[in-house]
Amino acid sequence: MDITYEYNKKFFNEKLSHIDICNEYKKLPIDASGYDQMSLNTHMGINNHCKTVEIKSKFKQDAKHNLIKNLDIEKLNFNFLTNKYYSLLIPEEEVTKKSTCHLNLEKEERLDYLKIKERCGVKNITYQEESLSGAAGELDTFELTSERDLTSGWIIITDYFYADANKDDYMDLIIRFKNDGSYSMGANTMTTVITSLSENKYQNINFWHSSWVIESALPEIKSPQVPKKYPTIACTVFEVNGKVDSSETGKIYRINLNDKIIVETSNSLIKYEWKNSNYFISASYNRISKVNTIIGYSDPERKVIAITTKLNCEEE
């Protein structure tokens, strides 16, 4: 136990390299099974901090595009605190205090769920977290309604920084945080990565295909897994660039909207984005008319239209 406290003190010495301290601590033959709770929490804290240090050292610190810098981190949407193991769910349509429903990433290190509820003006707070008793990757849902529940849990921001997490030449915002509380016996630090591929549009990178690139640097993000909040739609093409396309007759394309970047959603409309090897794509699915309009742009700013496709779709 003494060695753990000794190494923990080293992190407060500004003359010492945190990478070197972490590399040394990693090599120590520590058996934490005999630790008391305070020592175990200190041991976990060191491991969590060293994971952050490791991530910073592995990620690219520059990129061609830096659109993420336009994101106001003093007014960060709480729903961005989401990854494979944790998801904070505050539906936009339930928020009655939109002007205050945000996190000040620069100044706030800890925020309990009661404060989040009050800031957003919602009736309760719901989050999903990895199940301790279920299968690997399975999420349990927690709905916090009483004041006791809401004050017994809180979010801790341990660090944030900018880097090109998935080496796509777009800078990202990486946030390290914990879902902690009075019930917790020591919480692990999690990671969320926010990106911007076009002006003033932001989304968790964990939600789309390029999250696999992060796997080598972030063991906790093994594969994208999103709560199934959006439908899969089965579509047939009826128009390409303003002309009827008979060559697509009979072909059915299934689009899983959980795999896309959701920009806007309501009972009547779902707007979403993604990119492939050819285009930067924006789409708008009208849930009433069943028409799905997909526009492929040749540039990341989505100003030059290369192709427009219209489809008839049904939700499965």
Amino acid letter, 172: D
Distance CA 240, CA 19 (A): 54
- Indicate if the pLDDT at residue 219 is higher than 70: no
**Strands 291-297, 125-130: pairing kind:** unpaired
Whether residue 1 contacts residue 35, with contact meaning beta carbons closer than 8 Å, is answered with: yes
Tell me what percent of the chain is helix, strand and coil, each rounded to the nearest 5.
30, 35, 35
Per-residue CA distances from 282 to 20, 32, 79, 230 (Å): 45, 50, 21, 17
Binning pLDDT at 50, 70 and 90, where does residue 207 land?
Answer: very low
Averaged pLDDT for residues 173-185: 79
**pLDDT at residue 96 in the model:** 95
pLDDT per residue over 112-123, tens digit each? 999 999 999 999
For 36-46, b/e burial (b = at least 16 CB within 10 A) is eeebbebbbbb
Say which amino acid occupies 3.
I
| Residue 136: per-residue pLDDT | 55
* Residue extents of the structural domains in the chain: 2-58, 67-216, 232-315
173-187, 212-226, 243-257 — which is least confidently predicted? Answer: 212-226
Residue whose structure tokens are 């999690």: 190
Computed on alpha carbons and rounded to an integer, the radius of gyration of the chain in Å comes to: 22
User: Which residues make beta-bridge pairs with 256?
Assistant: 232
Answer left, alpha or beta for residue 162, where phi above 0 means left and psi between -120 and 50 means alpha: beta
What distance in Å separates the CA atoms of residue 268 and residue 170, rounded to the nearest whole number? 32
Q: What is the pLDDT of residue 104?
A: 96
pLDDT the model gives residue 206: 63
Angle formed at CA 250 by CA 244 and CA 255, multiple of 5 degrees: 90
What is the model's pLDDT at position 226?
39
Q: Please give the residue that has the higher pLDDT: either 299 or 127.
A: 127
User: CA-CA distance, 305 to 298, in Å (whole number)?
Assistant: 6
Please report, as a single letter, which amino acid is at residue 89: L
pLDDT at residue 211 in the model: 28
| Predicted confidence (pLDDT) at residue 258 exceeds the cutoff of 90 | no
Task: Write the pLDDT tens digit of every residue in 126-139.
Answer: 988 876 555 555 67
Give CA–CA dist 222/214, Å, rounded. 8
1-5, 224-228, 240-244, 284-288: which is most confident: 284-288
DSSP structure class, residue 30: -
pLDDT, position 218: 31
The b/e string for 238-258 (b: 16+ C-beta within 10 A; e otherwise) is ebbeeeeeeebeeeeeebebb
Q: Is the dihedral of CA 222, 55, 80, 148 positive or negative?
A: positive
**What's residue 139's pLDDT?**
75
Between the ranges 33-42, 260-269, 304-313, where is the mean pLDDT highest?
304-313
With a cut of 90, say whether residue 264 has pLDDT above it.
no
Name the β-bridge partners of 160. Answer: 175
pLDDT averaged over every residue in the chain: 81
pLDDT for 162 equals: 93
Lookup: tokens for 292: 């799905």
- Once rounded to an integer, what is the mean pLDDT over residues 39-56? 83
Q: How many CB atoms lie within 10 A of CB 88?
A: 20
